[in-house]
Amino acid sequence: MPNHHPRESPAGPAATGAWTLIQAKLTANHFELELYVEGYEFPNFDTGRDGNALACEIELDLQGRRLDLHVAHTLILYTFDLADFVDQLRTLEHAPDGEATLGDPDEQSGDELGLRIRRSEHRGAMLEGFLAEDLAARLTFELIDIDQAFIRNTLAQFAAILDAFPGPRRPRRRLSARNPTQQRLGVRGLLVQRTGLSACEFGEVRCL
């Protein structure tokens, strides 16, 4: 993945004040996700939904024998969703079975990013999720093998985001969206679900 820092300040990633860049990087077999949190989307608000909105950028790589997919997308995440995810990860870290979920997989929820970590004492741990650009473009992935180190690393990095951008401060209100037509594409033990995506809409897509 290219070395990319969205809107980087001349003071660098460690700068403090109104501008801050926090990066989380999740890596597994055939999978890499980089999340850049650039700051509060609405810095003049300190309560309510707008006060909990974080300006983010996602870079996602999915690789397989016949697919090399790179996606870059800007989106908003909310501190109360991240806090719920971190709480679930803390429980999952020490449990033989369970799951931790960020984002609602229902396509009508309006969520732009979803991650779901499932853990079973007999089947191990797996990752699935989705990335949605708008009502007509949605990509999902699943059956990605992960381990205890991935869960622990995810917990540490998302907790660091909340340390930099505290929340939550208000319950979430759901958005509505239409249900797009879907197309499925199998890639070496992981399933990529692609809807209405093109290179100009949702990053670069190369089938090898």
Confirm whether 16 is domain-assigned. no
Confirm whether 57 is domain-assigned. yes
Spatial CA neighbour of 133 closest among 93, 177, 186? 177
Confirm whether 3 is domain-assigned. no
Question: Residue 111 sits in a domain of what CATH number?
Answer: 2.30.31
More reliable by pLDDT, 31 or 5: 31
> What local confidence, expressed as pLDDT, does residue 37 receive?
96
pLDDT tens-place string over residues 159-199: 999 999 987 655 444 444 333 333 333 333 333 444 333 33
Confirm whether 7 is domain-assigned. no
CB 141 within 8 A of CB 128: yes
Confirm whether 92 is domain-assigned. yes
Task: Taking the CA atoms of 139, 143, 145 and 147 in sequence, report the sign of the dihedral they define.
Answer: positive
pLDDT higher than 50, residue 83: yes
From residue 87, alpha-carbon distances to 10, 25, 162, 184, 190 in Å are: 34, 19, 11, 32, 27
Highest mean pLDDT among 64-68, 120-124, 175-179, 194-198: 120-124
> What local confidence, expressed as pLDDT, does residue 134 receive?
66
> What local confidence, expressed as pLDDT, does residue 168 receive?
60
Confirm whether 71 is domain-assigned. yes
Domain that holds residue 101: 22-206
Spatial CA neighbour of 53 closest among 165, 163, 131? 165
Cα–Cα distance for residue pair 36/6, rounded to 1 Å: 7
Task: Taking the CA atoms of 17, 162, 111 and 30 in sequence, report the sign of the dihedral they define.
Answer: positive
Structural domains of the chain, count = 1
Confirm whether 15 is domain-assigned. no
Confirm whether 12 is domain-assigned. no
Average pLDDT over residues 75-103: 96
Give the 3-state secondary structure of residue 8: coil
CB 6 within 8 A of CB 73: no
